[in-house]
């Protein structure tokens, strides 16, 4: 079945860039997502990218997709303490009725 | 007011008890989902419903049941709770008419089974 893998922890200094990586196995993935979960809250969609795109930029966020290697990354520029959260990579495809398969989440810790 | 609400927010119960977690949404979405979150394991899909008459099992449905009472309400039941069902439970909704099937999550219910 589909699988989404991501590292569990990332620690960065405030002001640096953060890069969170994700790999997936479903070659038919149509949409790839990044969700953010702040402490005590549910997940919120941060950004997404269509599988026919290589890159998407939205203010401090840059998403890169390497479809050949099935690798997705999220870069957060000028990381702030408010960016500390768990970031989930997810993918969906028509074969799965577009229900997303989530990775285990990467805990981003931003320290001064 | 929150678009997706869950009650209760926290619940402590004992092994063998029947528990119901409730979810309501005001977004007018047709699709609703129940997930379970365990530390380090991400989200696992328990059940999902694409409309009131459509209920489907997810990857970990054993020990759980659901009821879609109305388009806006989707409840999750644990018929006889066991300690390994201690987890954070999330309800989510989505709208199949949206170009991207974004999931909108409730705030979660923290369930502890002693």
Please tell me which residue, B78 or A30, carries the higher pLDDT value. Answer: B78
Size of interface A-B (CB pairs under 8 A): 45
Are A43 and B90 a contacting pair at CB < 8 A? yes
> Cα(B99)–Cα(A57) distance, rounded to whole angstroms?
19
Please provide the average confidence, as pLDDT, over all residues in chain B: 94
pLDDT at site B1: 59
> Cα(A63)–Cα(A21) distance, rounded to whole angstroms?
10
> Cα(B53)–Cα(B71) distance, rounded to whole angstroms?
9
Residue of B33, B42, B96 lying closest to A104 (CB–CB): B42
| Residue keyed to tokens 């018929």 | B79
Q: What is the phi-psi region of residue A51: left when phi exceeds 0, alpha when psi lies from -120 to 50, beta otherwise?
A: alpha
Residues A18/A34, Cβ–Cβ less than 8 Å: no
Are A99 and B108 a contacting pair at CB < 8 A? no
pLDDT at site A84: 96
pLDDT per residue as tens digits for the range A4-15: 999 899 999 999
pLDDT per residue as tens digits for the range A63-99: 999 999 999 999 999 999 999 999 999 998 877 778 8
Residue B102 scores a pLDDT above 70: yes
Interface of B with A in 28-67 (CB under 8 A): 33, 40-43, 45, 48, 50
> Cα(B42)–Cα(A105) distance, rounded to whole angstroms?
6
pLDDT at site A2: 59
Sequence-distant (6+) residues with CB within 8 A of B56 are B47, B48, B49, B50
Are A104 and B4 a contacting pair at CB < 8 A? no
Structure tokens at A3: 């699988």
Residue A1 scores a pLDDT above 60: no
């Amino acid at each position: 079945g589909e699988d989404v893998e991501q590292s569990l922890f990332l620690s960065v200094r405030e002001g640096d860039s953060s890069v969170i990586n994700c790999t997936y196995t479903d070659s038919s993935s149509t949409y790839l997502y990044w969700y953010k979960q702040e402490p005590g809250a549910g997940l919120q969609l941060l950004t997404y990218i269509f599988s026919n795109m290589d890159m998407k930029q939205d203010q401090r966020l840059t998403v890169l997709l390497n479809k050949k290697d099935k690798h997705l990354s999220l870069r957060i520029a000028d990381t702030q303490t408010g960016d500390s959260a768990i970031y989930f990579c997810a993918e969906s495809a028509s074969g799965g009725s577009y229900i997303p398969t989530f990775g285990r989440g990467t805990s981003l810790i931003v320290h001064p | 007011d929150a678009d997706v609400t869950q009650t209760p927010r926290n619940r402590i119960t004992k092994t063998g008890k029947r528990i119901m977690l409730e979810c309501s949404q005001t977004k007018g979405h047709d699709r609703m989902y129940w997930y379970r979150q365990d530390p380090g394991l991400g989200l696992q899909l328990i059940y999902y419903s694409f409309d009131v008459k459509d209920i489907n099992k997810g990857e970990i449905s054993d020990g759980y049941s659901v009821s879609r009472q109305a388009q806006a309400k989707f409840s999750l039941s644990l018929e006889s709770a066991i300690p390994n069902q201690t987890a954070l439970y999330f309800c989510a909704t989505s709208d199949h008419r949206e170009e991207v099937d974004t999931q909108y999550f409730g705030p979660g219910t923290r369930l502890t089974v002693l």
